[in-house]
């Protein structure tokens, strides 16, 4: 049973990692697409939505990097804790270390949610830009 749980945890981590990299690639390509398509446009108020979209996608990328960094730090702390536990009897500190590690994993969950949230917000903003542009050019 514990082998099944470990396999499921491993599968979850692998899928989550793939999703993070996929969203990062989408964010970068969305920024490039928005900049390339808007390079010959005249400035108007509708482009505020493009700016908001690019800003959201950039924040999503930053959250992805923060997620990866915090996740790696949590794994390193976990490895360090297990090595210390093997060498020394550290029952006194065990609860404190576990709290620190759980807190780091909890923070990574927040970054993971923010990656998705800012990606979707940027996409909606870019869609609103196109709707507003259609309205302004319909005259």
Tens of pLDDT, residue by residue over 35-47, are 998 877 777 888 8
Range in 2-6, 52-56, 78-82 the model is least confident about? 78-82
pLDDT averaged over the chain?
84
The answer to whether 32 and 122 have CB atoms below 8 angstroms apart is no
**Residue located via tokens 């542009």:** 133
Is the per-residue pLDDT at 60 higher than 90?
A: yes
- Give how far Cα 138 sits from Cα of 5, 92, 135, Å: 58, 71, 5
Is the per-residue pLDDT at 139 higher than 80?
A: no
What's the pTM?
A: 0.79
Residue 108, token pair as written in the block = 């990574």
Is the per-residue pLDDT at 96 higher than 90?
A: no
Give CA–CA dist 30/58, Å, rounded: 10
The pLDDT score that the predictor gives to residue 44 is: 80
**Residue located via tokens 């590690």:** 101
The pLDDT score that the predictor gives to residue 133 is: 86
Length of the chain: 139
The pLDDT score that the predictor gives to residue 89 is: 63
């Amino acid at each position: 049973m514990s082998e099944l749980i470990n396999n499921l945890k491993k599968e979850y981590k692998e899928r989550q990692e793939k999703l993070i990299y996929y969203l990062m690639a989408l964010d970068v390509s969305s920024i490039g697409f928005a900049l390339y398509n808007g390079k010959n446009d005249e400035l108007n108020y509708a482009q505020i939505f493009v700016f908001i979209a690019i800003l959201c996608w950039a924040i999503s990328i930053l959250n992805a990097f923060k997620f990866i960094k915090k996740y790696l730090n949590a794994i390193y702390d976990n490895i360090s804790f297990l090595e210390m536990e093997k060498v020394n009897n550290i029952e006194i500190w065990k609860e404190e270390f576990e709290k620190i590690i759980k807190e780091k994993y909890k923070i990574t969950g927040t970054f993971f949610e923010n990656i998705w949230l800012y990606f979707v917000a940027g996409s909606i903003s870019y869609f609103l830009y196109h709707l507003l542009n259609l309205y302004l050019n319909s005259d």
